[in-house]
Structure 1
Amino acid sequence: MALKVGLLGAGAVAQAIHLPTLARLADRVRVTEMMDVDLALAAAVAAPLGARASGSVPELLAGDGVDIAVICSPDRFHAEHIEACCVAGVRGILAEKPLATSRAEAERVRSAVTASGVALVLGAMHTFDPAWLAASAAFTDRGPFHVRSAIYLPANAHFEDMATTMVRPAPTPPRPPSAAEALRGGVLGLAVHDLPLVRRFLPRFDRVDVAARLDPWGYVITAAGPDGTVELLARTGGTWQPDWTLTVWGLDAELEAAFPPSYVHAGSAVAALREPRHRTTWGPYPTDGYLAEWQELLAVLGGAPPRYPLGVLLEDLDYAFTLSELAVGALTRAVDAA
């Protein structure tokens, strides 16, 4: 019998990432609930699925019951919505990044998930990408390391429309963020995709040397720790060819993964390991990170141990918090010195 799925948030992540992925698993899952504070949006997205639309989390959770909740709401609500789903007794949660926006919220998530025993998977598609997993497992260089995450993408809408026929709410004028808010948002909203991968090679940051925001939207951050250095580069909003690459240089070997852009369901990354006398490649494979993260949740619900236990997910989140704090500090010092 198919598991019942409820989505908290009916925006682009729900429509262009999770619904196309769930359609590939239609023999195992069925969307029965769609929630958004914009009830008209929820209803428009729910109608083709035969799902019930609601305008609040309590209303969704008070329905016929869902087995799996998908947290697609704005970041600031993630911890609150995870808690509510745990209390309601759902069996599984797939939560979008970040799990929380502060360390206090992260502790609330820890308590709620631990007390309920819910199966929790973080929607961090690169951490489940089969080409990355195979290549990184074969990378045995001991370092020191230099890591570069380079992300150059057109606006998200370009890829959302490729993934599905989007239903969009009426636009509302955004509040321009401060430079510090934009930089923190860049770390917790975009760099966070690759930071768990970076943490394997650089478990700790001691300092951020350069931190700046880029227009129309992006950042450049360089940081260092006992095991090496990292460059985080991102720029979005242009019309250039998309490029999302993570490269790790060790003492004798180089590891590189070229990932598809967000919202693109086109298979895995292509990963390459270059050693002094040998080059090995992996991918692209038919399974992308979006499908793999759902397969992971279904496996955990079936009794398999999680690839990334809650403690690891919260350590990854704390790593992102630390980087964002150091980056904002470096930005503030640069502004004060100017």
Structure 2
Amino acid sequence: MSDRIGYIAVYFIGIALVVLVVELDLLGQHAGLGWDNLLYIAILSVVGVGVYLIVDYARNRPFHRQLARMADREAELDDVLGLQGAVTREQRAMQTIAIANYGKYVERLEQYKQQQDQHQTFVRQWVHQMKTPVSVINLLTQQAEGADREEAKSLAASMQEENEKLAHGLDMMLSTARLEKFELDLHIKQVELIRAVRSVINEHKKACIRYRIFPKIEANAEAIWAETDEKWLGFILNQLITNAIKYSKPKEGAKTLLVTVTEQDRLCRVAVQDEGIGIAQHDLPRIFQAFFTGENGRRVAESTGMGLYLAEQVCMRLGHRLEAVSTLGDGTEVTLTIAQQAGYHRVT
């Protein structure tokens, strides 16, 4: 009723103006409407408005009662799906918008739930992964007591290896946390790719020596620049190099780790090629899925299924592309493609 007051006021003002115009016209003819006619007009106007309001109230009452029930604090969220009886265009539009927003809300809620479940699964896996190096270091520390010089040197090397696993795990966990607020930790600038690759390889030189892996960098120019975030680029390259070493060490003998940096047609590419155990063809389409380890996860204990997933998520946000090809038993090649001056970056 209250939202109809304006219409009622305008209606009666219009009737009054019409009566006034007629009365003035009749006065020019030395006549008038008379009080009985004015009363008759007023009664008809009130009755007409009253009938309209009663009919309007009867039509809209069921819909408004449903809205009142949904406004109750004890109402369920999915009650909006039972919203029916819209009779006006505004009500039908409101009903459509309410149901559409409910669908979007449920979809967003499901996304958050999946992210939360994924995060919890990753944390549980990460804690389990971290327990192994800690236990090994504790055991090596006990063995070091009373060991001679050569044994102590060998034990120290083993401790260093386990410490590297701890550091890598902590870095992955920290990067996962930063990924949730990616836009707050982003600084795009021109980065020299060959220098970035060399820096990451130097961080893994002890592991390369330990597992007889010989890294090699090839490029089609002395310096290749790309527009990206230097820290996140380092994270991506670190994951690719770490995986190359991880899946190369089970193979006997000397192995080559080839990193090729090229620039062509305004595209910069960094290809990391190893001579490791490779990936089965039926596993290849799923290697960028969270927690997927495939057959290699049963051969290599350190597999978490998160490294390539996180690297691909970072690439998506930076506007880069990550692709992989592999032959089981011969090795894997993962290629990072960066478009020169892509124009924008999706950071959310």
Return the TM-score normalized by structure 1: 0.23
> Higher relative contact order at CA 8 Å, sep ≥6: structure 1 or structure 2?
1
In terms of fraction of residues, the more helix-rich structure is 2
In terms of fraction of residues, the more strand-rich structure is 1
Larger Rg: 2
